[in-house]
Structure 1
Amino acid sequence: MATNILFVDDEEALLELIAMIFEEDVLDGKFKTNFALSGKDALKKLNSEEGKDISVLVTDINMPYLSGFELVKQVKINFPNILIYMMSAYEDQKTLEEVRMLDIKHYFNKPVDFIDLKRTIEEDVA
């Protein structure tokens, strides 16, 4: 069964790039990809019929209205079985400490090494 991943980032161009990078794996049935441009949209998707089999969340941290941190807090409460990965261009001590406190599965620095991201997800869901 394909691993269903929800990618969340307020940069539409990045989500389009992710779609292209994962396209072959989607066609091969390894992954199913979903995309949201905000934390609010991500929560809507997770609460919808199409979101019920999402098992991995990859979210940016800095987004307007609902930060990645706030999104993760809500996901951990309402969807405790979802593996959570965060990505950000910021790697300051405060950000890393908050990631650690939220017990995130893995943190990826932007620009994200998508080969490493895919490999990490494959290893974690195996």
Structure 2
Amino acid sequence: MKILIVDDERDVETLFRQKFRKEIKSNKLDLAFAFSGQEAWELLQNQTPPEVVYVFSDINMPGMTGLALLKRIKETYPTIQVSMISAYGDQKNYNKAMDSGAKEFFTKPIDFDSLRKEIGMLIS
């Protein structure tokens, strides 16, 4: 299962690869990374149909925000599940994300146990 992680902080790639190393090693997960909303959108559009089944995106990024990316994904690829993450667990961002079709909303620092459960439901 291919998952796309979108965050303008490049160190998240190392963190995610470390936290999901067992799943990656056993070929249960294939992680892809984009470091902007625009890069993520281009990656999705370059595959017909997209291989990605789950997107985990930061909300606050320069350029195309995570919420703008979420809206585009849900309009164009409604079967792709999208969860959002924010350093700010404020109600406004939560409501915007959920109203736009987000599956889940996480706050930083990421609770990887909860995220693993979320991804586990998609794998099984």
What band does the TM-score fall into relative to the shorter chain?
over 0.9
Secondary structure of residue in 2 paired with 1:71: helix
Alignment of 1:18-29 (within 5 A): 18-29=16-27
Residues of 1 paired with 2:90 and 2:4: CA distance? 25
Deviations 1:33-92 (A, max 9, x none): 000000000011111139721100000000000000000000011111101111111111
**How much has 1:15 moved relative to structure 2?**
2.2
Q: Structure 1 counterpart of 2:26, which letter?
A: D
Q: Which residue of 1 aligns with 2:98?
A: 100
Amino acid at match of 1:123: M
* 5+ residue gaps, structure 2: none
The answer to whether the aligner puts 1:6 opposite 2:7 as a matched pair is no
Q: CA RMSD in A?
A: 1.6
Aligned residue number for residue 67 of structure 2: 69
Q: Percent identity?
A: 33
Q: 2:115 aligned to 114, 117, 125, which one?
A: 117
Q: Is the 8 A contact 1:55 1:82 kept in 2?
A: yes
State TM-score, norm by structure 2.
Answer: 0.92
C-alpha distance in structure 1 between counterparts of 2:101 and 2:72, whole Å: 13
Question: CA separation of 1:83/1:20 partners in 2, compared to 1, >3 Å: closer, same or farther?
Answer: same
Letter in 2 for 1:27: K
Deviates more, 1:32-41 or 1:95-104: 95-104
Q: Which runs of 4+ in 1 moved over 3 A?
A: none
- Note if contact 1:45-1:51 (Cα within 8 Å) is conserved in structure 2: no
